[in-house]
Structure 1
Amino acid sequence: MTGKELLLRALADRGVQTIFGYTGGAIMPVFDQMDKLGHFKFIMSRHEQGAAFMAQGLSRASLSTANPQVGVCMATSGPGAMNLVTGIADAYMDSVPMVAVTGQVATGVIATDAFQESDVIGVMMPICKQTYMPLFVEEIEQTVHEAFYVATTGRGGPVVLDIPKDVQNVQVDKDYHFDTAAFRPALPGFYYHPTPAREPLQKAVELINRSERPVIFCGHGVISSNAGKLLQQFAEKVNIPVAFTLHGLSAMPLDHPLSLGMMGMHGTVEANRAIMEADLLISFGMRFDDRVTGKLSEYAQNADVIHVEIDPSEIGKNVQPTVAINADVYRTLHVLVSDPMLAGKPRRRWRQRIAEAREVMAADLRREIDKGVGDDGALLMKTIIDRLSKLTGGRDLIVSDVGQHQMMAARFYNYQTPNSWFASGGAGTMGCSLPMAIGVKLARPEERVWSINGDGGFQMNMQELGTIMEQGTDLKIMILNNGYLGMVRQWQTLFFDGRYAGTPMQSPDFGQVASAYGIPYRKVTELAEIEPAIQEAIDHPGAIMLEFVCDPSEVILPMIPAGGGFDDMIIKRPKAKKKKD
């Protein structure tokens, strides 16, 4: 067998069924062999970045299915591999397991600046869990199996295999044999602690039982370990409210009585004020990043912290825990839920404080959503997302791009389905939604998937409409078009005296773009058209694009200014400012 055959055999052994990518000279032997085999479903992206986000979508959405898969993308050397960088860095920041296979120039010309040569290993090393370059054909199968182990063990993340072209074509010695079943990777220093230790668990239970104003934090680790139901059972048992990170959303129903909604920079008043006043924070699978904590020197000053996290490097990195539990979230919650010493308390005064905080913005938000239009009569994103949530019952899969609309979708869609919210968080990559939604749909073909975009992010990867057209992918595409880079415009409104430098955006006729790809399209400008348009998309058996003309002056509040603390939270809409020269 040749190197390319061994590579594909190993991928098949790891359960890979779908491969996303774009061919080229240095990876051509693998693509040729893949076509001969006919074993894999190949999805051709229109840009390598799209392939990386498609692989991400497949990995993330399939976590909660009976057949979890690791997304795999392929690209050629040089520019092909470099175009994967953003998607791989995004997966690394958001702890998404995936494997990228790149072709490399032949071993004899490596480091000679050969045509389409780039230092893939050097570039990728800081933005993924591990990089490999097998230089001998006998290394390929072991490398693939080790790559999948590293990508999926502990905290997930991307792994890169860079395979020289000549190694792909070399035949293995006839005595070569690799025992897949017996393979166990030897990785000194790669520690994994799935089961929580007894002593910190006992201390955690003591703190929980003693606390009067506790808050549970639900992070991405709850989603990654499929622990949403256990978290809900735990919260109900101890009668403690739950605040969600951006990536923790959809772990449990968002309208649960104990739900505080999203916390942090654009989180709810009730979540942020509860954190400010808490005496105990119980954190599951999150890393206390700056969008959650605000100014660290003022964060949780009067609270003990229980931090449950699979990655030991995250414990104490930003917030010093009182009790550190380096373990898998699912296993930790399983032990806690069954602990007879853990007790619930009424905490009536605490619940009353939270109820009061819920009302701070509730009436204003309801009036704004019901009004549905801004001062100039253009549609509000809040209203569009609210109507989408009601028409779908909060049960559909939502794949958001990055920007104002992302925060609107995080705040105003009532998530009911476990693992139904997908977005770029740590890297905040515009253009992620459309390709990621393709991967999500492939992972869960029986569920309805919405790709929600701003006019800016949509144009970064709208070429993937070609993939949707070719594959016949049933995606519901929404463009919330306010003619600006909306989130940056909001910052300019609040902190730059209304100088909208570099944010106004002229877009093409999205109707003609959709038509070019054979996708039905509807433009919505009136409040009364929102629900009929969404219902049309729901009823349509295939891809469809809806464009909503939105108010550029709309803001998403509350907002904690960058570098500010929770006491700096902005809850009132600023007065409109005129554009200055």
Structure 2
Amino acid sequence: MTGKKLLLRALKDKGVKYVFGYTGGAIMPVFDEMDKLGGFNFVMSRHEQGAAFMSQGLSRASRSNKVPQIGVCMSTSGPGAMNLVTGVADAYMDSVPILAVTGQVATGVIATDAFQESDVVGVMMPISKQTYMPLDASDVESTVHEAIYVATTGRGGPVVLDIPKDVQNQQVPDEYRFDAESYRPALPGFFYHPTPAREPLQQAVDLINRSERPVMFCGHGVINSNAGKLLLQFAEKVNIPIASTMHGLSAIPADHPLHLGMMGMHGTVEANRAIMEADLLISFGMRFDDRVTGKLNEYAQNADVIHVEIDASEINKNVGTTVAINADVYRTLHVLAGDPMLTYKPRRRWLDKIEGYRQVMAEDLRQEIETGVGADGKLLMKAIVSRLSDLTEGKDLIVPDVGQHQMMASRFYNFQTENSWFSSGGAGTMGASLPMAIGVKLARPDERVWSISGDGGFQMNAQELGTIMEQQLDVKILILNNGYLGMVRQWQTLFFDGRYAGTPMQSPDFGLIAKAYGLPYRKVEKLEDVKPALQQAIDHQGAIVLEFICDPGEVILPMIPAGGGFDDMIVKHPGQEPAENAVEEGGQS
């Protein structure tokens, strides 16, 4: 047995079916062995960054499968490994388990600036849960098992395995034995608390029973632990409204009466104002990042905080906690929902007040979506997303890129399928959508997948159309083209006196690009053509590219300015007078 065979055997033992990547000199022995052995579906990306996002898509989407899979990406040393960095960092920020396997130069020339050498372990260490470089073939198999355990246990995240070329080819002694079934990694510094302690649970129940104006938070941890249905049962039992982080979207039906929508910088008025007036925040699986809280010294000053979080380092990091529950979200909800001491309260005054907040922008948004076009007659993104939601009944899998269209999709798609939203959040990586959608489709081949990008983000990884072509994948590709980097342009409109520095973008003929990859294409400029085009994509068996010409002046509101607090929330378009009720409730125009 050689190191390369042991690597592949370990991956098979852990149920790995797909490997995404790009070969090269330092990883060539593994690729050669993989081809000889068979048993893996190799998906060749057109750029290593694409391979990292494909592995993310597979990991994210398969969480709700009976047998979850971990996404595995492979690259050669030097530039190949460095091209994985953005995707690995993105997975780390969003707590997504992936395994990145990189080839390395032979041990004898490490640290000599050999051809295509780079310090993969050093570069990846701050942006992954763990990095490994086995220096002997007999260490390879156990290292793979440990790495996948670390990636998938507790708070998920990426792990990196950097294997020198001579170790890949090295033979292990005849007496070498490894029992995969009985192997348990010895990790004294790796702590994991899946079960909640009794005392903080009792304290939490007491706070919930006493509260008059509570709000629950649905974070990424709810998705990761498949706890959406439990969260909804718990919320209905105690009659408490739920606000979602961006990564918490699709854990529960978006149109449920208790759901307030997304909170934070581009969250709904009702979610943000409810948070500011709440007397209790119950947070499940989220980290109180700056896009959620705004100005920390003004955030929910009069509220107690119950924080349920698998990663102890996140508790009390940004927001002070009244009751800390360091445990798995699913197990915590299971215990809480069954607690006989919990009481149901009508909370009519509180829910009526929140309903008033829902109306602050409701009419403006309804008119925009119904009109469907901006002042210059070009399409509005929110109208396109809303019509997509209607046609699909909110049941499809949505993979947005990063930017203005991402916020439109998060706000105006009516999610009905649990774990159906896959987005780059913490890192906010443009170009993530197209390759991530490939991994999502492979994880859940029987469901319809939509990759939604702006003209800027699409061009960052447009080459992955080649992977879609080669693998014959049915991914519906929407390009919302407004000729600008839309989100940056919105900031320039609101905060930089309309100076559009570095945001106008000239794009190629996307129809010719689609044709080059053998994909059907349709350009949509009129509102009456939006639904027929989307229906065409639904009816078409295979990938298709739709380009929508959008209004560059469209903005996504509400918006809390960077560094601002919830009282600074912008609820009206520039030039419009603030609604009277918005002023009364403390909103700024």
Per-residue displacement from partner, 1:98-157 (whole Å, max 9, x unpaired)? 000000000000000000000000000000000000000110000000000000000000
SS at match of 1:389: helix
Any idea what the Cα deviations from partners look like across 1:292-339, whole Å, max 9, x if unmatched? 000000001000000000000000000011000000000000000111
Mapped pair 1:265 → 2:257: no
In 2, Cα distance between equivalents of 1:112 and 1:344: 68
Partners of 1:65 and 1:180 in 2: how far apart? 23
Moved more, 182-191 or 395-404: 182-191
- Alignment-derived partner of residue 63 in structure 1: 63
Aligned mates of 2:447, 2:181 — CA distance in 1: 34
Q: Aligned residue for 2:559?
A: 559
Tell whether 2:545 aligns with 1:545.
yes
In structure 2, distance between residues paired with 1:5 and 1:384:
50
Measure the CA separation in 1 of the matches of 2:343 and 2:15: 43
Q: Tell me if 1:438 matches 2:438.
A: yes
Q: Which amino acid aligns with 1:166?
A: D
Please state if 1:477 is matched with 2:477: yes
Q: How many Å separate the matches in 1 of 2:310 and 2:441?
A: 28
Shift of 1:38: 1.1
The residue type equivalent to 1:85 in the other structure is V
1:220-299 maps to which residues of 2 (within 5 A)? 220-299=220-299
Q: Deviations over 1:360-408 (max 9, x none)?
A: 0000100011000000000000000000000000000000000000000
- Structure 1 residue 67: deviation in Å? 1.8
In structure 2, the residue matched to 1:324 is 324
Q: Distance in 2 between matches of 1:203 and 1:18?
A: 45
Look up the match of 2:127: 127
Q: Which residue of structure 2 lines up, in the alignment, with residue 522 of structure 1? A: 522
Match of 1:579 in 2: none
In structure 2, distance between residues paired with 1:182 and 1:46 = 39
Q: Secondary structure at the match of 2:159?
A: strand
The residue number in structure 1 matching 2:369 is 369
What is the TM-score normalised by the length of structure 2? Answer: 0.98
1:467 maps onto 2:467 in alignment: yes
Q: Distance in 2 between the 1:245 and 1:236 partners?
A: 19
Partner SS, residue 460 of structure 2:
coil
Runs of 4+ in 1 over 3 A off after TM superposition: none
What is the CA–CA distance in structure 2 between the aligned matches of 1:41 and 1:75, rounded to whole Å? 16
Letter in 2 for 1:422: F
TM-score by length of 1: 0.99
**CA shift for structure 1 position 36:** 0.3
User: For residues 144-190 of structure 1, what are the alpha-carbon distances to aligned partners after superposition, in whole Å with 9 as ceiling and x for unaligned?
Assistant: 00000000000000000000000000111000000111111111111
Corresponding residue number in structure 1 for 2:583: none
2:182 and 2:531 map into 1 onto residues whose CA distance is 56
Aligned to 2:181: 181
Counterpart in the other structure of 2:335: 335
User: In the TM superposition, what are the counterparts of 1:481-520 in structure 2 within 5 Å?
Assistant: 481-520=481-520
Question: Aligned residue for 2:306?
Answer: 306
SS of the residue corresponding to residue 150 of structure 2 reads helix
Looking at structure 2, the residues matched to 188 and 458 of structure 1 have their Cα atoms a distance apart, in angstroms, of 44
Counterpart code for 2:9: R
Letter matched to residue 329 of structure 1: V
1:66, CA displacement in angstroms? 1.0
2:108 matched to which residue of 1? Answer: 108
1:344 shift after superposition: 1.3
- State the alpha-carbon separation in 2 of the partners of residues 453 and 38 from structure 1: 35
What one-letter code is carried by the residue in structure 2 that aligns with 1:245?
Answer: T
Letter in 2 for 1:248: G
- State how far apart, in whole Å, the 1-side matches of 2:345 and 2:547 are: 49
State yes or no: 1:161 paired with 2:167. Answer: no
In structure 1, C-alpha distance between the alignment counterparts of 2:471 and 2:344, rounded to whole Å: 51
Match of residue 572 from structure 2: 572
Task: Tell me what 2:456 maps to.
Answer: 456
For 1:360 and 1:316, the matched residues in 2 are separated by 33
Q: State the distance in 1 between where 2:343 and 2:218 align.
A: 20
Q: Find out whether 1:139 has 2:133 as its counterpart.
A: no
What is the rounded CA distance, in whole Å, between the counterparts of 1:366 and 1:181 in structure 2? 57
Amino acid of the structure 1 residue aligned with 2:32? D
Please name the residue that 1:204 is paired with.
204
Please tell me whether residue 426 in structure 1 is matched to residue 426 in structure 2. Answer: yes
1:27 equivalent to 2:27? Answer yes
- For 2:30, the aligned partner's letter is V
- Structure 1 equivalent of residue 83 of structure 2: 83
State the distance in 2 between where 1:493 and 1:344 align: 46
| Cα shift readout 1:340-368 (whole Å, capped 9, x = no counterpart) | 01111001100010000000000010001
Distance across 2 between alignment mates of 1:35 and 1:342: 58
Question: Secondary structure of the equivalent of 1:459?
Answer: helix
2:567 is paired with a residue of what secondary structure?
A: helix
Deviation digits for residues 43-85 of structure 1, max 9, x if unmatched? 0000000000000000000000112000000000000000000
> Percentage identity across aligned positions?
81
Q: Give the distance between the partners of 2:310 and 2:486, measured in 1 at CA.
A: 35
Shift of 1:15: 0.3
SS in 2 for 1:514: helix
RMSD, aligned CA: 0.5
Q: In the aligned structure 2, how far is the partner of 1:500 from the partner of 1:567?
A: 27
Partner of 1:395: 395
Spell out the pairing of 1:340-359 with structure 2 (5 A cutoff). 340-359=340-359
Question: What residue identity is the alignment partner of 1:351?
Answer: L
Q: How far apart are residue 575 of structure 1 and its match?
A: 3.0
* 1:422 aligned counterpart, secondary structure: coil
- Counterpart amino acid of 1:570? I
- Which AA in structure 1 matches 2:306? I
* Paired AA for residue 438 in structure 1: I
SS of the aligned residue for 1:31 comes to helix
In structure 1, give the amino acid aligned to 2:387: R
State the AA in 2 paired with 1:63. Answer: R
The CA deviation string for residues 204-227 of structure 1, in whole angstroms up to 9 with x for no partner, is 000000000000000000000000
Identify the residue that residue 12 of structure 1 maps to in structure 2: 12
CA distance in 2: counterparts of 1:78 and 1:487, whole angstroms: 34
Q: Which residue of 1 aligns with 2:579?
A: none
Distance 1:368 1:415 in 2: 20
Specify every segment of 5 or more residues in structure 1 that has no aligned partner in the other structure, as ranges: 577-581
Structure 1 segment 36-75 matched on structure 2, within 5 A: 36-75=36-75
Letter in 1 for 2:28: M
Give 3-state SS (helix, strand or coil) of 1:437's partner. Answer: helix
Distance 1:407 1:463 in 2: 24
Amino acid at match of 1:273: R
Q: Secondary structure at the match of 2:56?
A: helix
Distance 1:470 1:259 in 2: 41
5+ residue gaps, structure 2, are 577-589
Rounded to whole Å, the distance in 2 between the matches of 1:119 and 1:207 is 50
The amino acid of 1:491's aligned partner reads: W
